[in-house]
Amino acid sequence: MCGIKNLNQMKKLTLLILLATGVFIGSCGDGKRKKNAKDIISTEADLPANQAELALIGGLYKEVKGDNISLKLEMLPFDKNKLPKALQKYDGKLVNGAHWKDKNGEQWVILTETGEIEEKKGKTDTSGHMVEPPSTRAEAYAYFWVKKQDAYITYRQDMWIEKCGPFDVLASFHKNGFTVTDVDKNGWAEVTLTYIHYCRSDVSPYDLTLRMIEREKLFEMHGTAELKMGQAKDAFVIKATRKDGNFTKAPAAFKTHIDQIWEKVKVEKL
């Protein structure tokens, strides 16, 4: 316990020193004093590795033809307190969701977050010094359901699992980065998810992973948020960064949509 308290005190002391000196320690790029810093954009098509290994296109998708078909996207009311019983089985805490009809029938997506999970407790020696740090993780899940006759069938599951050591860990959904749309007007809904995730011990920006899903298709991009510290005139800025991943091969309407979402989520607010 003494070792954990010492670690927390060291983390707080480090944060105070960083804020006092205006120096940010991290692996997410160099900060420069610019009021309107532009994003650092890369067109590299390689996708970032993640613990869930879900960047595989259609890896967890199965086609199920549902009921109550609509030839165009029709959004329906979503009430997390009135979900069908079958949809109430999930990991974590329900934080958001959506309900709609399209050419594949009546569907739902349920978003949940676990918060920090302790995988392994840390170990200290007889003097109270930590000799083996604890291990933690955080998880965020998206469950896709379709109604077929009198049953509810899950046809896709998406997730982000962030693993960490003794530092702060997070895996969550950005509420401004969640949409259900039909931007290409083909009658099939696209679900856009924005994961916020990090394992950090300083004031470096959090990571962002944006996914746009339409049936078996999955497009993904990755980035780090813009982080500002101080007043607007002399704010210390760490620029946002992004890699467009396989969005370089996405339809034009998808690219336009994800650019709009990026602008809504790219700044981390302290």
Write out the DSSP string of 2-24. Answer: HHHHHHHHHHHHHHHHHHHHT--
Residue pLDDT, tens place only, 101-115:
999 999 999 999 999
Question: In terms of pLDDT, which residue wins out, 56 or 74?
Answer: 74
Residue pLDDT, tens place only, 221-267:
999 999 987 777 667 789 999 999 999 999 999 999 999 999 999 99
Would you kindly state where each structural domain of the chain is located, as residue ranges? 2-268
- Split at pLDDT 50, 70, 90, the class of 124 is low
Q: Answer yes or no: is pLDDT of 157 > 70.
A: yes
Task: Indicate the average pLDDT of the chain.
Answer: 80
So what's the pLDDT on residue 13? 41
> Averaged over 28-47, what is the pLDDT?
41
Whether the Cβ atoms of residue 33 and residue 235 lie closer than 8 Å to each other:
yes
So what's the pLDDT on residue 41? 57
> Averaged over 133-140, what is the pLDDT?
89
Prediction pTM value: 0.77
So what's the pLDDT on residue 35? 31
**Secondary structure (3-state) at 88:** helix
229 exposed, middle or buried (CB, 10 Å; 0-12, 13-18, 19+)? Answer: middle
Write out the DSSP string of 156-181. Answer: EEEEEEEEESSSEEEEEE-GGG-EEE
